[in-house]
Amino acid sequence: MNEHDILKQSPFKISKSIQWAYYSTGCCWWTSFAADVVEGDGGSLACPHCDALVLQMSLLAFLESSVFNAERGFYGKHGLDVFYASHERNVHTCHQVFSDYMID
């Protein structure tokens, strides 16, 4: 699966103008919309739910790494579905483990 497949199968619409992925260092939350991120202590980027530090990287590289991680079982039995479920536009909370985003 390449980045085109990921974007095509994503449960949310990704605008061509979005260039960055923002991801929490303290939970499994991420977003591709800068408006979803809040300002944390000292002006740093933060998760809007747990205030953990948020880092950013190229959206394309982030999505490519998600495929790599899914192929190695990082997201558990739900694979990329749970990765996409953890996007802010799909759920308005954060969890410490990816499996908490899925209901069996």
Residue 27 carries which side chain, given as an amino acid letter?
A: C
Q: What is the mean pLDDT of the chain?
A: 85
- pLDDT value of residue 8: 56
Shortest CA distance to 7 belongs to which of 71, 84, 72?
Answer: 84
**Nearest-5° Cα angle at 102, 39 to 65:** 60
What is the pTM (predicted TM-score) of this model? 0.80
- pLDDT value of residue 14: 52
Under 8 Å between Cβ of 18 and 56: no
